[in-house]
Amino acid sequence: MVKDYSAYGPAYRGFKVQEEVFVPKPIEEFSGENPFTRMAPIRGEKKEINFDGTYPYLDKSLKFKFLHTLIYLVLWLVAFPVNWIRFGLKIEGREKIRKNRKLFAGGVMTVCNHVHRWDMVCVLQAMRYRMAWIPMYAEPFKGKDGFKMKYVGGIPIPESISGLGKFNEAMQELRDRKKWIHIFPESCSWKFYAPLRPFKTGAFNMAYRFAFPVVPLIITFRERTGWRKWFGNGEPLLTIHVGDPIVPDPKAPRKEETARIRDLAHKTMLDMAGIVSNPWPSCID
């Protein structure tokens, strides 16, 4: 049996899932026209930061190294246990990370839907607690969350030509150092939104250019049950699914291969989430 959630609003038009899939009720009025509408406000007073050619996209200072390590220590000791206690995080398909560790030794890119303030914590737990580098929308770095975003490994995506040049140099250095890069290809967060939105193509262009295998992940929701019903403000519990890696073909034309990787990642995530009919295509760029 398939369940239809079109009644949840324009952003759920034609949305259908398998019978066992739980879909939380919308807590915000999501746009049915623009899937890249930014819903989360920038918290706190904005600082003046210029994301130009002088900004340290890869900060190599001793201060950064210390705080970067400290942030991960806090994640390991506090955030990861809290994520299990508060959101009941379950990880499905994690054995694929262990099975493909040799493939990932030369660097890897992960992609995931962007549906929760702690979705990056879920990704880190699914990927066996490795340290990640995360290209992110630049403006929130100016707000209250900027400190955490930077020291968890966030790298702002600039708009200026000089900034983009330095940003690309930073990404190339991470590739040369065989690091893990994570990207949310939906570009912005829609809290507890069950459908999968279209993907920006830039992430997959980068994966093709760097010859990085792409690991698709998707967060789905479960009804809050048992002792967890007593807290969490009624928010759903979380499951993160890990898909098989998608390996770019370096001999294929860039445009066609980028589209193939993007579309296959999108379809894999839909299948893992039990989504039968989705409101959005894989791309609208």
Q: What is the pLDDT of residues 140-186, one digit of tens each?
A: 999 999 999 999 999 999 988 999 999 999 999 999 999 999 999 99
At residue 129, the pLDDT reads: 66
Instruction: Report the pLDDT averaged over residues 25-49.
Output: 90
Residue 87 corresponds to which tokens in the numbers above? 């959101």
Q: Distances in Å between the alpha carbon of 76 and those of 80, 83, 84, 112, 266?
A: 6, 11, 12, 21, 30
For the segment 227-246, the average pLDDT, to the nearest whole number, is: 94
Residue 280's SS3 state is: coil
Host H or E run for residue 35: none
Local structure of residue 181 (DSSP, 8 states): E
What is the rounded distance in angstroms from the CA atom of residue 157 to the CA atom of residue 163?
8
Q: Is 234 helix (H, G, I), strand (E, B) or coil?
A: coil
Would you place residue 61 in the very low, low, confident or very high pLDDT band (cuts 50, 70, 90)? Answer: very high
- CA distances 45 to 139, 149, 151, Å, are 12, 16, 19
Supply the Cα-derived Rg of the chain in whole angstroms. 19
Distance CA 186, CA 111 (A): 9
Taking residues 271-281, what's their average pLDDT?
98
Domain positions in the chain = 59-277
At position 3, the amino acid (one-letter code) is K
What pLDDT sits at residue 272?
A: 98
Q: How confident is residue 126, by pLDDT bands cut at 50, 70 and 90?
A: very high
pLDDT at residue 188 in the model: 94
Name 19's Cβ contacts closer than 8 Å, sequence gap at least 6.
Answer: 1, 2, 3
Beta strand 134-137 with 154-157: parallel, antiparallel or unpaired? Answer: parallel
Percent of the chain with pLDDT over 90: 89
- Spatial distance between the Cα atoms of 207 and 179, rounded to a whole number of angstroms: 12
Check: CATH 3.40.50 for 59-277? no
Residues 170 and 152: their CA atoms lie apart, in Å, by 16
Average pLDDT over residues 209-213: 97
Is the pTM above the cut of 0.85? yes
Q: Is the pLDDT of residue 205 over 70?
A: yes
